[in-house]
Amino acid sequence: MDVSNKKTSRLPMEPISKISPVPSISNCNGIQRKQNFKKTPTVLTTSPFLKELRQKFGKEKKEKFYETEMFDDLDVDADDCPCLYCNELYSHSRPGEHWLKCQLCNKWAHTDCAELNNRAKNFVCDVCK
């Protein structure tokens, strides 16, 4: 077998642009591109924008009103509580005298009457024990 006598087949020479044309930038297949518009910042708290959002998303939020109970029938002011042990009013106590509040019944007592120091935490009176 002689290699030199063998004929090589040649492919036909055609330019690439004829085989696969370069697509043009203009309208391809009738599809148009969306134009990108420059977005500007908007103030979200302005009234026209808020009205539009409220219409879009439905009902406005209702304001919540909470009823406050008034304790007019109580004859003891919150600042003038009696001591659990000696019944002395807070308004008549000496300056610098310390008071403790019971964790269970929320009543007040002098630290001297409860026989505790000023830094006591989690005070429970003798009545609640």
Please indicate, yes or no, if residue 102 is contained in any of the structural domains.
yes
Please indicate, yes or no, if residue 64 is contained in any of the structural domains.
no
What is the number of structural domains in the chain?
1
Reading the block at residue 61, the tokens are 């939020």
CB burial of residue 32 (10 Å; 0-12, 13-18, 19+): exposed
Q: State pTM to two decimals.
A: 0.39
In CATH, what number is assigned to the domain containing residue 84?
Answer: 3.30.40.10
Please indicate, yes or no, if residue 65 is contained in any of the structural domains.
no
Q: Read off the pLDDT of residues 76-104 as tens digits, 9 standing for 90 and up.
A: 445 688 999 999 998 888 888 888 899 99
The residue segments making up the domain with residue 114 are 75-129
